Chain A
Amino acid sequence: MAGTAVLGRLTWHVANVVDFVTETPRVKTIAFDVPGWPGHRAGQHVDIRLTAEDGYQAQRSYSIASTPDGTRVELTVERLDDGEVSPYLTDELRRGDQIELRGPVGGYFVWEPSQAGPLLLVAGGSGVAPLMAMIRLRAAAGSDAETRLLLSSRGWEDVIYRDELEQLGGDGLTVVHTLTRSQPVGWTGYARRVDAEMLAEVGPGPTASPRVYVCGPTPFVEAVSEALVPLGHDPRAIKTERFGPTGG
């Protein structure tokens, strides 16, 4: 996709559900096989469309969590209790089911291993999904770009991709957790919302000119970006992806 300006019409694909991974009590990763999938870049998303028997349609956007891998596309979905789409995706969908999906879309919030410079990735909850695509691509491409992930979760059991992040750590990747609501006994890490002091400690600082990607609920992204700029980070190096209450 990179470098191709003419994309043509955006069409809906039929996506076949092939696998599920339970990430946390509220979050599942759903793997789809999408015949005709053109490939994607780390950070892009898809639109999903569900159609009820009476013709009513609901559409949502989800970030792609997986690295480009043929026709396989993985989405990590947080169940919102009052959501219209996410409870269906996490609770009702079964292997072999089909849904409609279009994409990949979005060339703004993307990262390529060829881009120079360190990375500062800041995620709130399931906002880690597109950043995970970057982290996975970084590992798959053998990139040693200095990368810090600051991941804010409610509790230890709510940390998405916890084991994989632990395995991927090292080789220039540092993962820092903050647990905002509950902490395991003996927890010595951060236990508050992301703030300027935390961002300064996690680094890389503005002198290293990191590319900064922030993804999470709108208030989270707002707070993080408002803290980053006074620290001296170039506003143009900060890319944000907010998901609002309509994300359900």
Chain B
Amino acid sequence: MDALMLDGNAVAGLLREVFSVEMTTAIGACGNCGANEEVGAMRVFRGAGIVLRCPHCDNALVKIVRDGTRAWIDLRGVSTLEVAL
């Protein structure tokens, strides 16, 4: 267990900022194990940016790095992201 680990819910503000919609109830399909999980249930690790990991297989699903005015989003770990419209 990593004491720095948080839930996807913890970065709801950053995700809203980047995607402009409520993202913690969006469902991501893991590109590695195929599990579907709400973003709020993913595992969050913070460093220079944030990494959202699959709670089942630990695959890095989403990586986000931001500075004051821009964000870089790496979505290679998710096969789909299902968002309510």
Contact = CB atoms under 8 A, between A and B. Distances in A.
A174 B9 CA distance: 27
A103 B17 CA distance: 10
Interface string A204-248: 000000000000001100100000000000000001111111100
B82 to A, nearest CB: 12
Main SS of chain B's interface residues?
mixed
A239 B1 CA distance: 18
Interface stretch (B21-29, B57-65, B70-78): B21-29
B6 interface: yes
Interface residues on B, range: 20 to 34
A177 B16 CA distance: 36
Contacts of A218: 1-6
A154 interface: no
Contacts of B12: 45, 61, 105-108
Interface in A1-45: 5-10, 45
A47 B20 CA distance: 15
B27 to A, nearest CB: 11
A6 B21 contact: yes
A9 B20 contact: yes
A109 interface: yes
Nearest to B2: A218
A102 interface: yes
A106 B21 contact: no
Nearest to A222: B1
Contacts of A244: 3-6, 10
B17 A108 contact: no
Contact of B13 (A103, A219, A239): A103
A10 B7 CA distance: 20
Contacts of B13: 10, 45-47, 61, 102-103, 105
Interface of A: 5-10, 45-47, 61, 102-103, 105-109, 218-219, 222, 239-246
Interface of B: 1-10, 12-13, 16-17, 20-22, 24-25, 38-41, 46, 84-85
29 contacts: A6-B21, A6-B85, A7-B16, A7-B20, A7-B21, A8-B20, A10-B16, A45-B9, A105-B12, A105-B22, A105-B24, A107-B12, A107-B40, A108-B24, A108-B40, A109-B7, A109-B9, A109-B24, A218-B1, A219-B3, A222-B5, A240-B41, A241-B7, A242-B7, A243-B6, A243-B10, A245-B4, A246-B4, A246-B46
